A and B are shown apart, each in its own frame.
Chain A
Amino acid sequence: GAVVSQHPSWVICKSGTSVKIECRSLDFQATTMFWYRQFPKQSLMLMATSNEGSKATYEQGVEKDKFLINHASLTLSTLTVTSAHPEDSSFYICSARPSGKAGELFFGEGSRLTVL
């Protein structure tokens, strides 16, 4: 099946620094990728929709300047948490949709961010 890889799977950083998380579709091209955030013991919250070659679409309440999303190629989207603070600590999961296949969605393994 289709594989989506996230890197890093775990990251610990100091408050005030920036962290980049990568989401790669390994064996398919993805025009659209999605970024989710999951708080402990809660469901997934869609943060933004990443479209290759254009600006990401952010959900209401998600700070664009805080969570920078870049989708420069059909196999890679990145989420950068800028000036991270402890409240940004969370589990971030990406998903990717193969180009031309509505409804099919594949998830990455997730990245756990801990901000000290």
Chain B
Amino acid sequence: AQSVTQLDSHVSVSEGTPVLLRCNYSSSYSPSLFWYVQHPNKGLQLLLKYTSAATLVKGINGFEAEFKKSETSFHLTKPSAHMSDAAEYFCVVSESNAGNMLTFGGGTRLMVKP
């Protein structure tokens, strides 16, 4: 069975400072991992995905995430936060043996202070 835990429900940073959104997963098989962003009253936008290629994945808008199998983590980072980064972020896991069904983390709300 697969599961995802986003360790922080809220993260607040100042504009221009680094962003770290934490995600730990549990998976019986080699998973695919995703980060999605959701702006208020909007759908989901894919930031980046890991599918067993390079462990350091670069996404859109300057975000990146590193797959660490030993730590079962897939934390999302960005060197410098921008006001427009304020949104809800979801870490998602998918297993091929689960029919590629997505399991969503609880979400982390990122707030960016000016």
Contacts and interface: CB of A to CB of B under 8 A. Distances in A.
Interface of A: 6, 34, 41-44, 46, 49, 91, 93, 95, 97, 102-103, 105-110, 112
A60 B26 CA distance: 21
A93 B100 contact: no
Nearest to A6: B43
Contact of B100 (A42, A43, A103): A103
Contacts of B90: 43-44
Contacts, number: 44
B41 A112 contact: yes
A102 B43 contact: no
B25 to A, nearest CB: 14
Contacts of A97: 100
B80 interface: no
A103 B32 contact: yes
Contacts of A95: 44, 102
17 contacts: A6-B43, A43-B90, A43-B105, A43-B106, A46-B101, A46-B102, A91-B41, A93-B44, A95-B44, A95-B102, A102-B96, A103-B32, A103-B100, A107-B43, A107-B44, A108-B43, A109-B42
Interface size on B, as a range, is 20 to 34
A112 to B, nearest CB: 6
Contacts of A102: 96, 100
Given A102-B96, A103-B94, A43 B104 contact: yes
A6 B42 CA distance: 11
Contact of B104 (A44, A106, A112): A44
B51 A103 contact: yes
